[in-house]
Structures are given as C-alpha cells and as structure tokens.
Amino acid sequence: MAEIINGRELAKQVNQNTSLRIAKLAQRGVQPGIADILVGNDPASRIYSRTKRRKAEQMGIKFMIAQFPESATEQELMRTIEQFNKDETINAILVQAPLPDHLDQVHLINAIDPQKDVDGFHPINVGKLYNKQPGNYPVACTPRGIMKMLEHYDVDLPGKNVVIVGRSILVGRPLQSLMINANATVTIAGRHTKNLSALTRTADILIVAAGQAKMIGANDVKPGAVVIDVGINRTAEGKLIGDVDFDAVKKVASLITPVPGGVGPMTVASMLAQSVDLTEWKINGEE
Ligand code: NDP
C-alpha cells in the first residue's frame, strides 16, 4: 500500500518558511506585492483569485486583483500590465486563465516584465529553464510544487524513468525541463501517444496532468512507482477527483498524491514563495 503524500501539510511548511522570509523583508522595509489580472466572471477563476488573495494577505503579501469585464480589450489589459511593470510596489504579475476567446494569452504574458513573471510563463524564463541557464528565474508553479514534493519525500531523480502524461505549457512542458535538469530520463505523452498504458508502466515516477478523470488505473502503473496526480475533475455529484484512480492505484504505487490535498495546495504555496523570491532577487540585485 502506497504512502500518501500530504500536500496540505507540506504546503503549510512551505508557507511558514515563506512567512519567515516576508518578516525578514519587512525588517528591511519591503513588502512583496502581487497583482492578479482577472477578466470576466469565470466562477472557478474568481474563487481561485480570492483564495490566493486570502493566503497572500494572511502572510503579509500585498495582493491586488485587477478585475476586468468580459468585454475588456487587449489594449486595456496591456496598459494595466505596463503600469504593474513600472510599479515598484508590485513584484509579481499574474494573468488568470482562462481568458475570453478574443484575448490572446501569449500576447499578454509576453508583455509582463520577465522579472515579475511569477507564473514562469514568459518565453525568456521558459528559455532559461529549457537551457538550464544558471542564475535566478521563476518557473511554473505547479511543476515547482511537484519538484518540492518529490524532494521532501526523498524521491531520487537521477537515472529514473519519468513519464509525464500531458504536455501543456502550464504543467507538462516545464516539468519535463525540470526533470531533465534533475538528470531523470523523461518521456512526455499526449493524445497522439500510442499504447499509453505500456508507456506509463515503464515509469518509476508517473505524473499525470491530462484532465481526464481516472484515466490511469492500477494496470497502468508499475508496482512500486511514485504517482503524482495533477488532474482536477469534477464528478456529476460535484466531487473533485484526479486523473488517477486513487483507490486502485494506491495498492500498487509506493507513494501517491490524493486529489484534493495533493498537488493543488502546493501550487498556491509555490506561487507565494516565488513572489517572495522575485522580491528578494530584486532588492539583492540577483536577477
Ligand atoms: P491542458 O488541457 O492544457 O493539457 C492537457 C494535456 O493532456 C494535453 O497535452 C493533452 O494532450 C493531454 N491529454 C489529454 N487527454 C489525454 C489522453 N487521453 N491521453 C494522453 N494525453 C492526454 O490541461 P492543463 O495542463 O492545464 O491541466 C491538466 C489537468 O491538471 C487539468 O485537470 C487541470 O485542472 C489540472 N491542473 C491542476 C493544477 C493543480 O494545481 N493541481 C494546476 C494546473 C492544472 P495533447 O497535447 O495531445 O492535446
């Protein structure tokens, strides 16, 4: 039976550490600031933004939500991003996805100052990660949280077969780079992958970020594998479940994340920690 990763507890530890760093910054008269750009009325996005704001403010981070109507134009949003880029009290800028169809997320992300790109999506930061460039730069928060989790649970990465199901810019691709940089042997799968089950069974570490409820069952997992479930799916009854059939897979895996309470809390904790990184790098001249 697998050990179950406690993402909530680990996120609490990460947040405690972040709070200590915020207190040290306060002694130097500095408060980290996050600006969250929210467009339209997507209920999940509004809840997510509010959760981030509550946590950030509890920890002493300034958090402002720039709320725009569904009809907002790219020019309006660009102007706001430009203002936040110049604003000395803002260290981190987020554009909350999904955006309405008429807005191009890539344009908006490219307009963010790479040194305030707390989501790690700007091509300059993506390129630095891809090339394993030395120095400080932000990386995508969900993959960062997953790497922290694996480190905390002493999962050794060099030479391990890592299979990632899902190749989005949010999760799969940055995670692939982080894993390669950690000397794992990485395969990344998508919808076109043939015989996915045979592939996932080769994984010492299997990470699933496809958004397909319970797509991974016990027969898709090598006995003793570490299984990280990023997926968030809602059942007809409103229950949150992952991409992995948790009850079945926990019997074969050695370590597994639950949904909820696994990767999710670590994503928010990683974003808050990274906003403090950006603040520290800025005032220490370490960007
Ligand atoms: P996307 O829809 O952007 O990407 C999904 C990826 O999964 C695509 O690369 C797609 O392949 C692949 N995929 C989908 N179905 C299959 C399949 N049947 N077989 C193989 N590959 C498949 O999703 P995101 O990356 O944004 O999110 C993935 C999931 O993770 C969602 O459930 C989301 O809610 C959750 N999530 C959770 C977070 C957390 O903090 N816990 C944070 C971010 C996301 P292809 O490229 O070929 O289309």
Domains in the chain: ranges and CATH: 29-113 (3.40.50.10860), 141-264 (3.40.50.720)
- Would you say 230 and 215 are in contact if contact means Cβ atoms under 8 Å apart? no
Arithmetic mean of pLDDT, 133-146: 98
List ligand 1's pocket residues with C-beta within 6 A. Answer: 142, 165-168, 170-172, 189-193, 196, 209-212, 215, 230-233, 263-264, 267
Query: Ligand 1: distance of its center to the CA of 239 in Å?
Result: 19
Q: Over the chain, what is the mean pLDDT?
A: 97
Alpha-carbon distance of 277 to 64, in angstroms, equals 18
pTM of the predicted model as reported, rounded to 2 decimal places: 0.97
Query: What is the distance between the alpha carbons of residues 229 and 51, in angstroms, rounded to a whole number?
Result: 21
pLDDT per position as a tens digit, 152-185: 999 999 999 999 999 999 999 999 999 999 999 9
Mean per-residue pLDDT, 196-216: 98
**The pLDDT of residue 196 is above 90:** yes
Catalytic hit among 36, 55, 116, 119: 119
Residue located nearest, by CA, to atom 6 of ligand 1? 166
Query: How much is the pLDDT for 44?
Result: 87
Amino acid at 119: D
Q: Does residue 239 have an active-site annotation?
A: no
Look up residue 135 and give its two tokens.
């120095």
The pLDDT tens digits of the residues spanning 69-125 come to: 999 999 999 999 999 999 999 999 999 999 999 999 999 999 999 999 999 999 999
Give the burial string for 142-162 (b: 16+ CB within 10 Å, else e).
bbbbbbbbbeeeebebeebbb
Q: Is the pLDDT of residue 287 over 80?
A: no
Q: What is the CA radius of gyration of the chain?
A: 19
Neighbours of 271 (CB within 10 A): 25
Task: Determine the atom of ligand 1 nearest the C-alpha atom of 263.
Answer: 41
